[in-house]
Amino acid sequence: MPEPETTPTDWSAAAAALRPDPRPWIGGRRVEVDTGRGFRSENPATGATVAELPCCGAADIEAAVRSARTAFESGAWSQLSPRERGRKVRAFAEQVRAHAQELALLDTLEMGMPIANALGDMQEAGGHVEAIAEMADKLLDEVIPNDPSAWVLNIREPHGVVGAITPWNFPAYIGISKVLPALAVGNSVVLKPSEIASLSCLKLGELAAAAGIPDGVFNIVPGLGGEAGAALALHKDVDVLTFTGSTATGRRLLEFSGQSNMKRLILECGGKSPQIVFPDVADLDRIAEAIVGGITFNTGQVCVAGSRLLVHRSIADALVARVVERARAVEPGDPLQESTGFGPLASRGQLERVRSHVAAATEQGAAMLLDGTPASAGGACFWSPTVFADVTPGMRVAQEEIFGPVLSVMTFDSEDEAVSIANGTIYGLTATVWTADLGRALRLARRISAGAVTIGADPTGGRVDATTGAFEPHRQSGLGVEGGLGGLRSFTRLKSVTFKP
Ligand code: NAD
């Protein structure tokens, strides 16, 4: 059992004492790379440099893929019994718990997530990995009973080398939850984390080694998307690419697969999730609370954020007044204070993206009920909750993913109209329906095009429970299954074996 860390009382002091290692992890150790070029990660709460990282490229990706392939072919991991792999995955969960504070602090520094949320994320990640460990030996093969003179088996085997490309919004959590299912079923992995926040993911290699996962099975290479990410996506010896990020990048990865080796893709991309509120609901205060939580958690930088409020015209004024009042009370704070619940946006690029979407909404005629523009943020990336009413479904603010604390309010008069607006974007990630009418709830659960539909529960944070439920995005929110046993199955392929004496 690894030693637990002692909890810092002063997170700023703990941050100042950190010496994060920016080097890639290949073949079970940190390696020196001489790329001649680097990139900087920046603390969005202060503008200060957190680390200088190497711009790894095709040669480093090549070394990592070779290391992963050699480890896979050796059988040291791929041929281990699933139960034994499960034990080591559980040991990895213990490592995550033991290093939760360092992982959380790295994410807070690089992308501004409040430290209390980042710590919560690592608790959740530990539980998620434990669940994966329990599932490792539960993928049962099948015997097909169609020929009494033969045994026809459908067996599942690991693909080989899995590439993983991750975003910055939950850096360590998404890194862990993408990689561990692939490892649990015997694959080797090369992970390319986001250039905005790579340090927590780079730390995961050491945790894997301490958990007894053999050298070369898990490799991590930092770098820019268009360089290291593209090299991984175009590599001909990568069998599967699992990706979380924007729909635009997801589309590029489909092209790269076609241009290289038709590698399988699992894509978890963007969303513009609706919150649909019918007039039969009882408690508008609770719903307003949940809606504000859903658009302000992680400063709105959540793929499943409920960024479109669709409310029945008869209750729109009453609900929107409550939403605005609560959103106005959400104050940005220093992410290194444990009392802070709302931090800055993750980067200057993200700040500019939010600013331009807000300007476009105003230009297109949406009514700004709450202005989140910061008075003066210095070098920091703060932006407060912003609410637009009089939004029509065709406006950019109703169609495009903003990835910030910006809520668009639209009204409807009938169930059909609500469904039509809800389904009227390119996305189909999640949706929440607030109604007391069970028949309506069941109808909408089927009619709404989304990978996950929540009926009247608190969507704060909105994250799908990936430990138990499998999830498959609709339309341009992605493709392939993540979460639960289905998520493990995504990292295996089916083989038919016939015994016919
Ligand atoms: P992004 O697409 O810009 O980057 C994601 C990753 O892809 C990064 O590691 C980046 O370096 C890499 N990348 C960028 N261009 C590339 C290229 N040409 N080739 C290969 N790799 C490339 O996304 P982001 O801004 O980091 O993250 C925000 C997006 O992630 C949002 O759209 C959000 O909805 C989505 N997201 C989705 C989920 C989900 O489960 N569906 C979860 C979290 C985030």
In the structure, what pLDDT confidence band is assigned to residue 457 with cuts at 50, 70 and 90?
A: low
Determine how β-strand 308-312 pairs with β-strand 274-277.
parallel
Q: Give the per-residue pLDDT at 459.
A: 45
Q: Give the per-residue pLDDT at 465.
A: 54
pLDDT in tens, 46-84: 999 999 999 999 999 999 999 999 999 999 999 999 999
Q: Is the pLDDT of residue 377 over 50?
A: yes
Q: Give the per-residue pLDDT at 467.
A: 54
Structure tokens at 441: 């709830």
| Spacing, Cα 169 to ligand 1 middle (Å) | 9
In the structure, what pLDDT confidence band is assigned to residue 468 with cuts at 50, 70 and 90?
A: low
| Spacing, Cα 161 to ligand 1 middle (Å) | 21
The neighbouring-strand residues paired with 152 are 144, 498
The pair phi, psi for residue 395, each rounded to 5°, is -65, 155
User: Using the 8-state DSSP alphabet, how is residue 300 labeled?
Assistant: G
Q: Is the pLDDT of residue 363 over 90?
A: yes
**DSSP track, 5-55:** PPPPS-HHHHHHH-----S-EETTEE-----S-EEEEE-TTT--EEEEEE-
pLDDT in tens, 117-173: 999 999 999 999 999 999 999 999 999 988 899 999 999 999 999 999 999 999 999
Q: Count other Cβ atoms within 10 Å, centred on residue 84.
A: 13
Q: Is the pLDDT of residue 283 over 50?
A: yes
**Position in ligand 1 atom list of the atom nearest CA 233:** 20
Percent of the chain predicted with pLDDT > 90: 92
Start-to-end CA span in the chain (Å): 50
**Position in ligand 1 atom list of the atom nearest CA 170:** 43
Determine how β-strand 151-158 pairs with β-strand 142-144.
antiparallel
**Position in ligand 1 atom list of the atom nearest CA 401:** 32
268 noted as active-site residue: yes
Q: Name, in order, each residue with C-beta under 8 angstroms of 98's C-beta and a sequence gap of 6 or more.
A: 2, 3, 4, 5
400 noted as active-site residue: no
DSSP E strand stretches across 288-394: 308-312, 367-370, 386-389
Q: Give the per-residue pLDDT at 379.
A: 75
Q: Is the pLDDT of residue 39 over 50?
A: yes
In this structure, which residue's CA is closest to atom 10 in ligand 1? 225
Residue 395 Cβ inside 6 Å of ligand 1? The answer reads no
Q: Is the pLDDT of residue 466 over 90?
A: no
CA proximity to 385, closest of 313, 471, 298: 298
Residue 194 Cβ inside 6 Å of ligand 1? The answer reads yes
Q: Give the per-residue pLDDT at 463.
A: 46
pTM equals 0.96
Percent of the chain predicted with pLDDT > 70: 96
Structure tokens at 456: 């009247």
Residue entry with tokens 């939580």: 293
CA proximity to 408, closest of 386, 432, 434: 386
In the structure, what pLDDT confidence band is assigned to residue 35 with cuts at 50, 70 and 90?
A: confident
Q: CA–CA separation, 318 vs 304, rounded Å? A: 25
Q: Give the per-residue pLDDT at 470.
A: 87
Q: Is 440 helix (H, G, I), strand (E, B) or coil?
A: helix
Amino acid at 322: R
Q: Is the pLDDT of residue 446 over 90?
A: yes
Residues in the chain: 501
Question: Residues 94, 130, 195, 268: which is the catalytic one?
Answer: 268
Q: Is 268 helix (H, G, I), strand (E, B) or coil?
A: strand
Q: How many CA atoms lie within 13 A of 18 on its CB side?
A: 27
Residue entry with tokens 């820019």: 224
